[in-house]
Amino acid sequence: MQLKIAICDDCGEQAEYLAELVRAWAKKVRTEADIRAFPSAEAFLFAYEETKDFDILLLDVEMPGMSGVELAREIRRENSVLQIVFVTGYYEYFSDGFDVSALHYLIKPANADKLFPVLDRAVQNIGRGQRSVLVETAEETVRIPLADIFYAEAENVYVCVHTKEGAYRIRQSLAKFAGQLDDTFLRVHRSYIVGLGHIKRISRTEIILTDGAHIPISRGMYPAVHEALIRVL
């Protein structure tokens, strides 16, 4: 498996330092890595628009022109699979990581102990992003990538699966449908399962997803949801 990894940082020394760490990680895990550095968000976006085949993006937050957060939001409009890792010297942007479904938020200076586990998890998530589930509606059978599922909602003897391509209504119990998913999903209410990677905000009573949906949380579930978010972030 060859990974295409981008480093976007306006500091050339920092970009080269991260590239050295990535090369050391790739050697350790015995994988090939095509590593490319970009001095600005605009430079990365120009290259990204050409192919859109990057797997991992190590992204600085504060850069001249377009910020890292703005770049991440632009990418997330159509790409939920690219693994975005913020690498920055500022804690105050942590909440923005939820908004753009960032994999992790590393505080500079990064080192092997911090970065290697994040890259390991990125590879796992890329594999999950390629997984899919078959859903059979009254009209058709559809293969849906797990990464494209926002949430599933129980409707009597049916389940409505809400995805990037629309909603699919299948005759199945929510428990049975949950059995086809992986640990990037969590049942947060007797009638709802959510994709953890699509959570934008959480409170004691509800979850707001990146598609704008408001999902209720069962009483007492907030700690479990918060713990699951920390695990995937």
If one counts the domains in the chain, the total is: 2
Query: What's the pTM value of the predicted model, to 2 decimals?
Result: 0.62
Are 10 and 113 part of one and the same domain?
yes
User: Where does a domain end: 88, 108, 129?
Assistant: 129
Shared domain check, 39 and 120:
yes
CB count in 10 Å sphere of residue 82:
23
Which has more confidence, 194 or 108? Answer: 194
Which residues face 85 on adjacent strands? 58, 104
Residue count of the chain: 233
User: 94-122: per-residue pLDDT in tens?
Assistant: 555 556 778 888 888 899 999 999 999 89
DSSP 42-88: HHHHHHHHHH----EEEE-S--SSS-HHHHHHHHHTT-SSSEEEEEE
Average pLDDT estimate for 139-153: 88
pLDDT for the residue 81: 80
| Whether the predicted pLDDT of 38 surpasses 90 | yes
Q: Where a domain ends, among 104, 129, 154?
A: 129
54 and 164 belong to one structural domain: no
Domain containing residue 90: 2-129
110 shares a domain with 8 = yes
Cα separation, 6 vs 184, whole angstroms: 24
Q: Are residues 125 and 170 in the same domain?
A: no
* 152, 153, 158, 164: CA torsion to nearest 10: -40
Kindly report the CATH number assigned to the domain that includes residue 34: 3.40.50.2300
What's the rounded Cα separation, in Å, for the pair 149 and 139?
A: 20
pLDDT for residue 50 is more than 60: yes
Q: How does DSSP assign 156-217, residue by residue? A: TTEEEEEETTEEEEEES-HHHHHTTS-TTEEEEETTEEEEGGGEEEE-SSEEEETTS-EEE-
Q: Are residues 218 and 121 part of one domain?
A: no
- Same domain, yes or no: 139 and 217: yes
Do 125 and 136 fall within a single domain? no
- Residue with structure tokens 């009254």? 138
Q: Are residues 181 and 208 in the same domain?
A: yes
| Residues 79 and 171 reside in one and the same domain | no
